[in-house]
Structure formats: C-alpha cells, structure tokens
Structure 1
Amino acid sequence: MKSFFKYVLATITGLIIAGVLAICILFGVIAAMVSSVSSSSEVAVPANAILHISLNHDIQDRPEKNPFEDLDFKGFKSRKTLALSEVVGRIAYAKNDANIKGIYLNLSDVAAGFATLQEIRAALEDFKTSGKFIVSYSEVYTQKAYFLASVADKIYLNPEGTLDFKGFNSSTLFMKDALDKMGVEMQIVKVGTFKSAVEPFILNGMSPANRQQVESYLGDIYQSFLANIAAARKIPVATLFAIANDYKIRNAEDAVTHKMADGLIYKDELLAELKKRLQIKDKKDIPSIALVDYKVKEAPKGDFNTRVAVLYAEGEINSGESSEGVIGSETISRELRKLREDDKVKAVVFRVNSPGGSALASDVMWREVELLKKVKPIIVSMGDVAASGGYYIAAAADSIFAENNTITGSIGVFGMIPNLQNLLNNKIGVRFEGVKTGKYAGLMTELDKPMTADERVIVQAGVDRVYRTFTKRVAEGRKISVAQVDSIGQGRVWSGKQALALGLVDRIGGIDKAIIAAAAKAKIKDYKVVEYPAEKDPFSSLLNSSTEKVKVWFAKEQLGDSYRYYQTIQSVTKNSGILMKLPYEITIN
C-alpha cells in the first residue's frame, strides 16, 4: 500500500510539473504570437534618420523562423536571427530611401563567417556610392567587426576601448590521449593525404600535410582580409601586416596613431557628430531605426511567372528530411525536382553552405542537380563553406560562384569505426556475445572488437570506390580529367580565391552576382526572384513539430554562440557510413 501511494504521488507530481511547463510554453507562444502580430507591420521610418546596424544577432543564409524570437520573460530572452539576404537587402533599400541619410555602425563582434561578411561589406560599399555617410563607433572591435567597420567614412573608438588586430588563428581540439584513457580506439579508413577529419581522434597534433593546407588557406583568407582593409583605409598591406604581426595596437591611442581609427570619442560626442551631420538642434533626439526593425516593403518587381529560384542548402548533409542545421537529401532532392518540372522557374541558383556529410546523401542530391541542368540553367553560389560533400553537390552546376574567403574543396572520403573493446571489457566490465549466420554479419556493427584484416580491406575498398565516384563527378562537372581532380583533391581544403585558380569555381562573387548570371544564361530580363523551400509559418511548425525541434530552439537561445559546440557533439554521435566532410569545424579568430 505504501508503495502504491508512492507511485500515485509521483504520478500526480509529474502531471503537475508537466502542466506547469505546458502553461509556461502556452503563455510564451501566445506572447510571441502577439509580439509577432504587432511587429509584422512595417515600422515607420522617420524623416532625416540614420539606419542603426549592430549585427548582434545570428546571421545565416536562411534561418528557420523561431516562434520564440520575440519572447522575453524572466530568465529567458531570445536571440533574433536575420537572413543574409535581409541584411543585404535592407542596406540596399536604404541606399535609395529618402528618409535614411546615413548609417551608424555599432559593431563589437559579428556571428558570421568571412564570406558572409564579404557580402555585407559589399552592400555597405554600394551604399556609400549614394553619397550618404557611414559612421562607425564601438567600445570594442573584434577583427570581424573591424572588417565591416573599415568601410566607414569615419571610424571612432571609445578612449578606453580596444581594437583587436593581431592576425588570424585557427586551432583544433585533439582527443587521442583522452580516448586512450577511456579505452576507445578509432579505426580509420580514408582516401586523401589532406583528409584530416580523422586526425583529432588518432593524433595529438596536426600532421605535416594538414598544417601545410591550413597555413595555405588561412594565409590566403588573411591576405584577402588585409587587402580589403588596405583599400578602404589607404594603408599598404605590408604596413597592416606589420601592425598585426607585432601587435602594435595595444590601446585605443595606438589605433589612431596607426590610422586604424579616426578618433577617440565617448558616446555623447558621437551623438553630437551625428546630430551635426543631420543638422539637428541639440535638444532634439536623433531619428533612427534599427536594421532588425527596418522591414520595408518594396513594390513587386518582375514577372511572377518568370522566376529565378534560389534554393538554400545550409548545414551538414544527411539522408532524410532537412532540419535546423541539416541538409536532408530527401528535402533538397524533392525541391530540385519541383524546380525542374515548374515551367515558371526559368533558372535556379543553388546556395550551398555546407561542410559535407553523408556520401550517399550527397550523391542523391548530385543526381537531381545533374537532371535539372539538362533542362534549365543552375548556378551554385557558395557561402562561408561549401566543401567535401558540399562541393560534391555543387560540382554538376553550369557555373560556381564563391567569395575569395569561402572554404571549399576537401575532395576526399573517410570512414571512422570506433573499437570500444578496452572501454567495455576492461574499464567498465561489459561484454557482448552473440551468434552470426555469416562471416561478416557483424561488420561495422560490432564495436566491442577490432576489425579484422579482411574487414578492413572491405571497408577500405568501399571508401576507395566512393572517392573514385567523387573525383569522376567533379571531373565531369568541371570538364577536367580525373587525374587533375585527384591532384587538387586528396581531401585538401582551399580558399575561394585558390579554388578559382585551380578551376574548382568559375567566378568570385556573392549570391546577387549568381542570380544575375542565372538570369543571363536563361536569357530573361523581367523576372522574379523566389526563395525555396517555401517558408513555413513558425507557429504551425511548432504545433506540428517534434519535441526535438523545440529542444533545438531553446538550446540555441540558451547556449548562444556556444551552440555550435553542441552541434559538433551531436554530429559525431550521429555520423555513420562513409563520409565526405571537412577536416574539422573550421573557426577563424
């Protein structure tokens, strides 16, 4: 009886907790819906105003709309996201908006890759051609923030602030010793001297080949970074290199001395200058609007029955349906088929931002790109990264666009099978025993014993076959020999600028240039740009989604910039089969 009451009490307690959580979520959703409805209308742009750009939010190619975005209650405040097209489009609209007289850049750190920043920077440069001003002010400039700020007519820094300018670094976490202590052996099969995705699991440091490729593409991206700043600030590249190399900017005064900043001022002094530029009397407020609120609606342009479709593929490549941070082969293949069969769609821009993933899923999507190319133009626009499987799905396109600082290439294949025998048998005392009907029935599923020599030969043969297919696909798509692909393949990572010289991409430029090229190839002028897949309403998505999606939304809000580490762990635990992925997650600081 006592046990009965204990279970009843536990059940009641669980129901109460579940009810409270449901009510909290319900109120949250209602609050977000109310906020969404109230914010869906256009925010009036005041006359004689400045556009305030802070970029203190995530910037993705096409983020999934989060129903909790406007949610703000005790203990929880959401992070807004903006699509790259929204950032660029709003800056472009402001260029011709009579109410907008200039831009105030208030940048500290920017959560985006350098190829994304390059497209935003190009939009800012184009804005300046209108004759309107751009003024930048911050207490702290990271290198990414300064990359954008360098476009400004005037760069100001707080007198006690900092400007971080010291060169790039990219590091990798190596786990061999930790795995050894746990009794875990990672059994590796791969093709490609430079295919270093496996190194963190089997080495305690970078191999010479990996160090060579990282130094090469990191140095190339750094040179592009310096060249952009040099042109804007009229400082020689060699001088900028020396400033960073010797870490000459150690305080705010140094930034002015080396002409990286135009002055040291406090916020009140900045406001006074902005008022002077806008010819505002001292006691009046400065009319302004934040970029996230600048939701202007342009008059419809182009013939809706003549479309250039922009299809977004962002994240790691897996089989199945797409989800947050995952390119699902079923989703993208289905969309490519629809675009191929839709007579209104005259050309396609395939926007790829992916480090790769499943070899099988990559080939499934490659097939649909190949079929689409036979009936209408398809142009690939590479984002921050389009490498390994991300390059595989791009290779068949008519033409490929990338930024100088896009990460691409990594034409290589690997398989990684853990051997947990020491961990299970000796560390925690767990053993498996089973029955097999065939000699190889346990291949790649028996993790409590090492692969035999015969099994390793079988797996290696599979990896070799996938690599041959990969190089063949690239050779056919790029119209070069398989031998030439192999010579620049071997898993090696390249910058977009290097890839152009090697023939892996055709043009340097962002998505706007890719759209123009797609329309030109289709020989159309009066067209409408339409984005795919069709965007789902966030609230219907919430009501129809699994608990996994809700967990992702909340994890992103709570973890912020650290969410990518959570994603990496999830990726490692879910990967299976033969993979085509980048050497590791590339983060440039």
Structure 2
Amino acid sequence: MKDFFKNVLATVLGMFLFSAICFGFMMMSIIGMIAASDTETKLKDNSVLTINLSGVINEKASTDYLGFLSGDAVENSGLNDILMAIKKAKNNDEIKGIYIEAGPLGAGFSTLQEIRNALADFKKSGKWIVAYGDTYSQGSYYVASVANHIYLNPEGQVDWHGLASQPYYIKDLAAKFGVKYQVAKVGTFKSATETYTETKMSDANRLQVSLYLNGLWANVCKAVSESRKISIPTLNTYADEYQLFATPQSLIKKRLIDKLLYADQVKGEVKKLLGIDADESINQVGISAMCNVVEDVNSDDGIIAIYYAEGEIVQMAPGGMLNNSTNIVSKNICRNLEDLKNDDDIKAVVLRINSPGGDAYASDQIWHQVTELRKKKPVVVSMGDYAASGGYYMSCGANWIVAQPNTLTGSIGIFGVFPDLSGLVTEKLGVKFDEVKTNANSAFGNIAARPFNAAEMAMLQGYVNRGYATFLNRVSQGRKMSVENIDKIAQGRVWLGTDALKIKLIDQLGGIKEAVEKAAQLAKVKNYAVEEYPTTEKWQDQIFNNIVPRGTLDDQLRLALGAAYEPFMLIRNINQREAIQARLPMDLNIR
C-alpha cells in the first residue's frame, strides 16, 4: 500500500511539474509575441508595403492571443492599422510602392471606400500600386481598381454583379415553434419590425432600400469608372452579364484587368518597377511592421483621441459561448468618454461609430455622455459603414459629423418587438397558468402565459411614442433644426451619406482623416499626436476571461446552418435583447 501511495504522489507531482513547464512555455511565447509586435521596424531601401485584402476587416485591430497559443490564430485586420500603414508608406522614402493581394473580402462599402481613398491619396506621392488576385470579390475589386496595374491569375475570376439586398423574415419560422410577435413602433420607414411580423418588404421599405442601394452602386461605379476609364453604362452592362463566370481573357478586353499572370510572374513585374534584377529579393513590409515604423511627431499642443465604437448598442455585454460579437456597451463607453473628458492632455475626441443601432436606453446614455464631453472639448463623429438609429442617436450630440458617401445613417425611429410565447409554452409544451392578482395590471408582462391585450399594447405604444419624441428632441438640439423638420426626414428612414449631407443630418463627407483634421481645427491645435481608444484588451484578460476559444462554437454553427444561421440566432436570443430598440433592420444582407 505504501508503494501505491508513493506512485500516486509521484504521478501527481509529475503532472504538476509538466503543467508548470507548459505554462512557463506559454508565458514565454506570449511575452515573445508581445515583444515582437512592439519592436520598431527599420525599413530597407526599395521596400514594398504588402496589403492582404481578404477576410474580415474590423474597425480596430486586435491580437488573438488564444488563437496564437492554439495554433488557430484569427486574422483580425483593423481599418485603423491599414490606414496608418498606407499613410506612413506615402510619407516614407524607403517605400516605393504598394502590393495588394486581393481575395474574398468581408467589409462594408464605407470601409472599402475609406481604404480606397487612402490608396488614391498614396498615389499622389507619385508611387505605384500593383494588385493581384486569384479571385477578386466585388468589394476587393472596388478597392483594387485604384491600382496602377491589376493582374489576375490565368484561371482566376473577377466578381462584378451589382448589389442586392435580401432581408430575411422569421414570422413563419417562429410560428413553427409556437411563437408570435406584437409590435409597437413609430416611423413609416422603421422596417426592422417587419423581420418578425411580415413575409416580404413593405412598400415604404422597398422604396428606401431601392434608393440607398442604387445610390451606393452609383458611388461604386463612379469610382471604378474614373480609375479604369470604363463608362458607367458599360460597367452596368458588365454587371448584368455577371462577370464571375466570364473567361479571364475577356476581362482584359473589357479593361477590368490589365494582364493574366501567375503569382511568381507578378513578382517579376514588381521587380521591374523597383528597378532590381530578377534574382534579387523584394523587400516586403506587412501592415503591422509598417505601423511600427517610428515617425517624428510634434505633439506640443496635445492629443487628438480617436475612440472606436463598433457593433450593436447594448446596456451590458451579452454572455454565453455563442455570443462572440463586438458590441458597444453603454456602461463601458460612458466611463471611457468621461475619462477622456477629464484628461487635460486630450484636446479633442473623434468618436468613430460603426453601428446599426440597438438598445434605445443605452443609446440615450451614450448621447448624454457625448454632450457632457462636448462641454469641455470638441467632439467630432466619424461614421463607418453604419451609424443609423441608435448609432445616429449617439452621434447627434457632437459638434460636427463626418460620413462617407457610402455610409448608411439616419433611421431616426423607435420600436418595440414583444414575443408572444404562449403558443409555445401552453400549447406545444402543455404548461398551464392560473392567476390571482391585486390590481388590473399586476400580471402584465408574462409573455409565456398570454399575448398583450389591447389596453396593454396601448400603454406600450405610448411608451414608444415618448421614446421617439425624445429622439427627435435630441436630434433637434444637436442639429439646430426644428422638431417638425427633423420629423419630416426621420420616420425611421435610412439615408446614404451623400443624401444625409443634403438634408443636414451630417456636416461633411469624408473619413477618419478628415474627422481628425476637423477636430484639430475646432480645438485650435496644429502640433498634435493621435492616440486610439479604447486600449486593446490585455493578454491576461483575454486568456483567463475566455475559457472557450473565441468563435469556435459560433463558427461551427455558421458552417452547419449556412443561410439559416441569422434567423436561428434571432430565435435563440429572443429574450436577450431589450424590447425597445433604435436600430436598422436586423440584417440588410447587401451583397
């Protein structure tokens, strides 16, 4: 027996030592990774910045330490890093050009426009841009079309088909579970509720989607037309023909691309532009390395802060293994904006918003904090792909609003969607309810027992009406327009950035660069540094607060359900979203 306990003790001790050694190696790997990412980059002469235009582009870059440790690192491209790298490449004499590797790209057209504009500005320096891809998605081609030379694999494809919006409707799906929805809303164009109660678009929603979709496509065609010297009618003809299945040789005749080359042959073309021999190596610099190139910045006048707010607006971050999406958490952003207000080194704040909206109460809390911040220093909003409904709510208190022509904004309206689970609970599951109450509305709110009656729906509609009136007043104060005039352009209607400028919902067309310049002007500073907020999540928090690797189950579910994923998650999260919302339709599904 004594030997048995000795063996058990030795085994336990061995396992402990093994775990300690593994943990030590893990810590060394993380420290090495952090050190490498913070190392200053020393550029060689005749270098080329390489940009990988594929995957998903988030507003702000992040480091996936869990993925690094598991060998399954997620590529988290950040618009902020891409723009910084292009700007530094333009101003650095060691960089002679940019090489774009194009592929399937997941990003909104405002984000793509931001990158494209930065590349166009880079070309003003007299430097060149070369793009190459095995397959160009429509989004990556839109960006790559600004290049001096566009090359395609001899067996490759270019997707050029126009735009379509295919919103989904879950009324019949919910009915299979015994679930129905009751709605209170304000706004003729507030179509988010249709997802739950209809099986097709209303006439009002079809009108607004048609207008902003055609406006968006017109902006894309105009840009490609100017770069490729192809008329807009011709580009529309190409879209009608669906270029994805066109022969690669025909794409040259159509001037969509310049030459068919394999990847190794493209290197030869780049070497010619660099003026080096065929056997010499190309000095390539990635986005992260380019961002680590140190520039001399005179910041005597202080700091302009860029605060990134991306995702659905919520009061608290949702929990659960399947909730890995980015959110704008009102409590967090309010606390952070208060810190920026009290930091005397920060002279102005650019609030970068990319959000379809969300919880109405949370949006109002952020609006309040923006107005408090504005009392002490200038606040300029820079809108991304979306800054609509709740996203516009939190914007309207700023001194100045900047949006891209391709931004979707407005959608000033409030709605409430209330699930009626009585069919599921009482009929399908067989649960029965009885009742004793002291007052007329003591049992109000039990969605599992019965639907709301007419009197209860009237109370809810009154609450939503008050929320809409508050929203209109917030916008009226911020935009210095009458409530009556705001109401005429509100009603839940979504506006493209170019149209939003005409009706004074925004002040200027442009991107982050223009927003920072305006913030500096309002703060009356010339020599300033730019700092980004909120700070990146510490590696300790990411590892110890996320027991399940990010996105693992969510990604598997996406693959398994395909197009049914979004409707399924909408049903699954039926009680996790606050009832009163200020947001766009659930999924515009523009492709």
Name the residue aligned to 1:339.
340
* Offset of residue 558 of structure 1: 6.4
> Quick check: 1:255 aligned with 2:256?
no
Counterparts in 2 of 1:416 and 1:232: CA distance versus 1, 3 Å = same
Alignment of 1:10-409 (within 5 A): 31-71=29-69, 73=71, 77-247=72-242, 250-303=246-299, 306-320=302-316, 325-409=326-410
Counterparts in 2 of 1:491 and 1:255: CA distance versus 1, 3 Å = same
* Separation of aligned partners in 1, 2:282 and 2:61: 32
* Separation of aligned partners in 1, 2:28 and 2:282: 34
Contact 2:88 2:290 in 1 (8 A): no
* Separation of aligned partners in 1, 2:19 and 2:193: 42
Name the residue aligned to 2:490.
489
1:584 to 582, 586, 589: 586
* Offset of residue 340 of structure 1: 2.4
Contiguous gaps of at least 5 residues in structure 2 = 1-14, 319-323
* Offset of residue 441 of structure 1: 2.7
* Offset of residue 511 of structure 1: 0.9
Counterparts in 2 of 1:35 and 1:342: CA distance versus 1, 3 Å = closer
Counterparts in 2 of 1:445 and 1:307: CA distance versus 1, 3 Å = farther
* Separation of aligned partners in 1, 2:192 and 2:515: 30
Name the residue aligned to 1:451.
452
Which stretch has the larger CA shift, 265-274 or 184-193? 265-274
SS in 2 for 1:517: helix
What amino acid does structure 1 have at the position aligned with 2:396? A
Contact 2:421 2:450 in 1 (8 A): yes
Which stretch has the larger CA shift, 396-405 or 44-53? 44-53
SS in 2 for 1:497: helix
Counterparts in 2 of 1:441 and 1:519: CA distance versus 1, 3 Å = same
Contiguous gaps of at least 5 residues in structure 1 = 1-16
Name the residue aligned to 2:442.
441
* Separation of aligned partners in 2, 1:40 and 1:298: 11
What amino acid does structure 2 have at the position aligned with 1:500? L
* Separation of aligned partners in 1, 2:124 and 2:67: 34
* Separation of aligned partners in 1, 2:144 and 2:268: 20
SS in 1 for 2:451: coil
* Separation of aligned partners in 2, 1:444 and 1:401: 41
Counterparts in 2 of 1:448 and 1:21: CA distance versus 1, 3 Å = farther
* Separation of aligned partners in 2, 1:20 and 1:245: 62
Name the residue aligned to 1:12.
none
* Separation of aligned partners in 1, 2:23 and 2:456: 51
* Offset of residue 69 of structure 1: 4.5
Name the residue aligned to 1:574.
576
> Quick check: 1:510 aligned with 2:521?
no
Counterparts in 2 of 1:305 and 1:69: CA distance versus 1, 3 Å = farther
* Offset of residue 567 of structure 1: 7.3
* Offset of residue 229 of structure 1: 0.6
* Separation of aligned partners in 2, 1:355 and 1:20: 48
SS in 1 for 2:166: coil
* Offset of residue 91 of structure 1: 1.1
SS in 1 for 2:68: coil
Contact 2:304 2:350 in 1 (8 A): yes
Counterparts in 2 of 1:518 and 1:43: CA distance versus 1, 3 Å = closer
* Offset of residue 571 of structure 1: 5.8
Contact 1:64 1:324 in 2 (8 A): no
SS in 2 for 1:70: helix
Name the residue aligned to 1:8.
none
* Offset of residue 32 of structure 1: 4.2
What amino acid does structure 2 have at the position aligned with 1:415? G
* Separation of aligned partners in 2, 1:71 and 1:379: 39
Contact 1:57 1:79 in 2 (8 A): no
Q: CA-atom RMSD, angstroms?
A: 2.9
Deviations, residues 107-157 of structure 1 (Å, cap 9, x unaligned): 012222111111111111111112221111111111101011101111111
* Separation of aligned partners in 1, 2:228 and 2:491: 39
Contact 1:50 1:100 in 2 (8 A): yes
Which stretch has the larger CA shift, 562-571 or 353-362? 562-571
Counterparts in 2 of 1:121 and 1:490: CA distance versus 1, 3 Å = same
Which stretch has the larger CA shift, 497-506 or 49-58? 49-58
Contact 2:174 2:571 in 1 (8 A): no
Which stretch has the larger CA shift, 552-561 or 484-493? 552-561
Counterparts in 2 of 1:483 and 1:26: CA distance versus 1, 3 Å = farther
SS in 1 for 2:535: coil
SS in 1 for 2:81: helix
Contact 2:49 2:98 in 1 (8 A): yes
What amino acid does structure 1 have at the position aligned with 2:588? I
Counterparts in 2 of 1:343 and 1:294: CA distance versus 1, 3 Å = closer
Contact 1:387 1:410 in 2 (8 A): yes
SS in 2 for 1:108: strand
* Separation of aligned partners in 2, 1:26 and 1:184: 52
* Offset of residue 246 of structure 1: 3.4
SS in 1 for 2:348: strand
Which stretch has the larger CA shift, 174-183 or 347-356? 174-183
What amino acid does structure 1 have at the position aligned with 2:457? R
* Offset of residue 546 of structure 1: 5.8
Deviations, residues 356-409 of structure 1 (Å, cap 9, x unaligned): 111111111111212222232111111111000010010111110000011111
Normalised by the size of structure 1, how large is the TM-score? 0.89
* Separation of aligned partners in 1, 2:458 and 2:127: 65
* Offset of residue 57 of structure 1: 4.1
Counterparts in 2 of 1:160 and 1:377: CA distance versus 1, 3 Å = same
